[in-house]
């Protein structure tokens, strides 16, 4: 019984040895495909490195397009000057304009009957 087992194991070892001596050859088309994959993987590896640069270019591109649409640096300077004048007029208005500080809390609803009910009353009085 023991001898049978030993013999069976020896025969199995022979089969393994035979399998080792006759390895499965790698098909040529598979080797070619694997080497092509290597080139593809390497090119994929390069793409993410370029991605942030591309994104930056798009970012700058949008600002540049906006500048061109506005009219360039001179137009941007004019817009900035207009903003400053607007703020200045708001804070220190000329004498012929009301002082905005005095208008805070001012309501003219009693003098002008713009509310629908008051306006209807006035119009009704005029008709009469």
Binding stretches for other proteins (CB under 8 A): 5, 8-9, 11-13, 15-16, 18-20, 22-27, 30-31, 33-35, 37-42, 44-45
Q: Specify the residue, 2 or 41, whose C-beta has the smaller distance to other proteins.
A: 41
- Distance in Å, CB of 32 to other proteins, minimum: 9
Minimal distance, residue 53 CB to other proteins, in Å:
18
Residue whose CB is less far from other proteins, 21 or 128 = 21
Nearest distance, CB of residue 22 and other proteins, angstroms: 5
- Residue 35 CB, shortest distance to other proteins, in Å, is 5
Please compute, for residue 101, the number of CA atoms within 13 A of its CA located in the half-sphere on the CB side: 4
Q: Closer CB to other proteins, residue 11 or residue 118?
A: 11
Angle at 80 between CA 75 and CA 83, to 5 degrees: 125
Give the CA distances from residue 69 to residues 56, 72, 79, 128, in Å, rounded to whole numbers and listed in that order: 20, 7, 13, 59
3-state secondary structure 77-119: HHHHHHHHHHHHHHHCCCCCCCCCCCCCCCCCCCCCCCCHHHH
């Amino acid at each position: 019984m023991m001898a049978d087992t030993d013999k069976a194991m020896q025969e199995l070892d022979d089969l393994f040895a035979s399998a080792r001596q006759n390895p499965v050859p790698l098909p040529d088309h598979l080797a070619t495909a694997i080497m092509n994959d290597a080139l593809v993987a390497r090119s994929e590896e390069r793409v993410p490195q370029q991605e942030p640069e591309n994104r930056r270019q798009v970012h700058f591109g949008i600002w540049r397009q906006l500048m061109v649409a506005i009219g360039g640096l001179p137009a941007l300077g004019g817009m900035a000057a207009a903003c400053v004048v607007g703020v200045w007029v708001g804070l220190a208005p000329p004498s012929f304009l009301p002082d905005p500080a005095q208008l805070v809390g001012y309501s003219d609803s009693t003098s002008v009957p713009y509310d629908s009910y008051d306006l209807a009353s006035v119009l009704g009085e005029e008709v009469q």
